Structure 1
Amino acid sequence: MTLSLGLAPAAAGGFSLERYFAGRTVAVGSFSAINGVKREFTVDLRGKWNGKTLTLVEDFVYDNGERDRKTWRFEKIGKNRYRGTREDVIGETLVTISGDTARFNYLVDLDARGKGNRVRFYDTMKLQSDGTVLNKALVTKFGFPVALTRVEFQRR
């Protein structure tokens, strides 16, 4: 399935979270850890922009049937800059966009029971010429690489 934003990055004025993620978006992705664990998933996203904050609800379905919901809140704090929070993120993240690329990193506790399995994601999201957004993230623990994620978003 190939869906397109319909605008080249330059025509769209560069990449912005609110322009791309307001409305419906779908994604497919994978998480691959160095211990051999691999999870594939799909995501249905619904974004609402109120002029200052993008609220992005992500409904995940994993290849084993497990479901999860996460909600990002990205507050625009300047040109090409956002402050982001999510229920499993410890603290907040600062998103910076340069041209068609957004970069941010954040600390997450992967253990829903709060047992302290904390890892840091280093995300790079890039708007592609076909209108998709490719997000690649390096995941580290104690500063050492432990996993990679890859997610491809498409406007619905």
Structure 2
Amino acid sequence: MRRLILLCCCILLTSCGGVAVDEYTAEQPALDLKEFFSRPVQAWGIFQDRSGKVIKRFHVDINSRQEGNRLILDERFVYSDGSTQQRIWTLRPDGKNRWRGTADDVVGDAIGELAGNALRWRYELNLPVDGKTYLVTFDDWMYLMDENTLINRSSMLKFGIELGQVTLFFRRQP
């Protein structure tokens, strides 16, 4: 029983902390999603487990288009083990400095908050691993470094416990 109480306390403590996206309001250059994804983008990334070990490397080609006020991102992944994946995001503005996004493997809507050069996405994802699918939570931060470079760092959690992290570097193509 004491272990259960300790586990619950740890989960509560880790879920209460963190930085608010508003901390980045004055940071420049300001991130404009529609502008950044107005050209093809390539991304390179890694997934690390809790210990920091790199489990997978991957490359992503991203092509986008606008349909009315929606931004459609067609992501094509190639992983270091040779496997491939496609995810199509549909993003739409949801008030001042807010976005909502959907994709086939995202449960419900991804909620995005934008301030200055930063965007924070929070969502649940059905993640396939070795023939099984796990529901995981992503806390996803993106930072615009210059007009062509975006850095993304995500924490992947299950029951409030971090399973690993994803780091991505995006580069807009000429």
User: TM range, normalised to the smaller chain?
Assistant: 0.7 to 0.9
Once residues 111 and 98 of structure 2 are traced to their aligned partners in structure 1, the CA distance between those partners, rounded to angstroms, is 7
> Contact between 2:36 and 2:148, CA under 8 Å: does it hold in 1?
no
Q: Normalization by structure 2: what TM-score?
A: 0.77
Amino acid at match of 2:39: G
Amino acid at match of 1:18: K
Give 1:57's match in structure 2, choosing from 74, 96, 109: 74
Deviation at 1:112, TM superposition (A): 7.5
**Aligned CA distance change for structure 1 residues 42 and 128 (closer, same or farther; 3 Å):** same
Once residues 71 and 146 of structure 2 are traced to their aligned partners in structure 1, the CA distance between those partners, rounded to angstroms, is 23
Question: Which residue does 1:125 correspond to in 2?
Answer: 142
Deviation at 1:115, TM superposition (A): 4.7
Deviation at 1:113, TM superposition (A): 9.5
Give the RMSD, CA atoms, in angstroms.
2.1
Once residues 28 and 115 of structure 1 are traced to their aligned partners in structure 2, the CA distance between those partners, rounded to angstroms, is 25
> Contact between 1:16 and 1:80, CA under 8 Å: does it hold in 2?
no
Gaps of 5+ in 2: 1-27
Amino acid at match of 2:81: N
Higher Cα Rg, which structure: 2
Give 1:97's match in structure 2, choosing from 114, 117, 127: 114
Q: Which moved more, 1:91-100 or 1:26-35?
A: 26-35
> Contact between 1:120 and 1:140, CA under 8 Å: does it hold in 2?
yes
Once residues 83 and 133 of structure 2 are traced to their aligned partners in structure 1, the CA distance between those partners, rounded to angstroms, is 21
Give yes or no for the alignment of 1:48 onto 2:79: no
What SS does the corresponding residue of 1:92 show, helix, strand or coil? strand
Structure 1 stretches of 4+ with a deviation exceeding 4 A read 112-116
Give yes or no for the alignment of 1:25 onto 2:49: no
Give 2:157's match in structure 1, choosing from 131, 140, 145: 140
Give yes or no for the alignment of 1:72 onto 2:85: no
Question: Which residue does 2:125 correspond to in 1?
Answer: 108
Deviation at 1:19, TM superposition (A): 0.9
Once residues 98 and 51 of structure 1 are traced to their aligned partners in structure 2, the CA distance between those partners, rounded to angstroms, is 23
Deviations 1:89-111 (A, max 9, x none): 00011111100000011101112
How many pairs are equivalent? 146
Deviation at 1:116, TM superposition (A): 4.5
> Contact between 1:122 and 1:139, CA under 8 Å: does it hold in 2?
yes
Deviation at 1:87, TM superposition (A): 0.5
Deviation at 1:34, TM superposition (A): 2.7
Q: Normalization by structure 1: what TM-score?
A: 0.85
Gaps of 5+ in 1: 1-8
What SS does the corresponding residue of 1:133 show, helix, strand or coil? strand
Deviation at 1:64, TM superposition (A): 1.0
> Contact between 1:24 and 1:47, CA under 8 Å: does it hold in 2?
yes
